[in-house]
Amino acid sequence: MDREYVESSMITSFGFDPIISTLEIEFKSGAVWQYFDVPESVYYEMKSASSRGNFFRASIKGQYAESQVG
């Protein structure tokens, strides 16, 4: 999955696959996680969030099934 690199103290990059509704996030730790059944609107909200880390903690973590892939 293609990810875009972002300025964030928590997140290195993230991307979204609309065909399978999967959000993929690479964290500063180097870990890569996928979040499943994420609405595309949530991805766009994360793209425009002033703090992507805060958005992740408030709107993604614990809200969707997840799997570490890297």
- 33-53, pLDDT tens digit by residue? 999 999 999 999 999 999 999
Mean pLDDT for all residues in the chain = 96
User: What torsion do the CA atoms of 41, 45, 46, 50 make, to the nearest 10 degrees?
Assistant: 180
Q: Where are the domains of the chain?
A: 4-68
d(CA 40, CA 28): 23
Backbone CA torsion sign across 64, 8, 33, 4: positive
Q: Is the pLDDT of residue 56 over 90?
A: yes
User: 61 and 54 in contact (C-beta within 8 Å)?
Assistant: no
Query: Tell me, what's the pLDDT at 70?
Result: 85
Which pLDDT score, from 0 to 100, does residue 31 have? 98
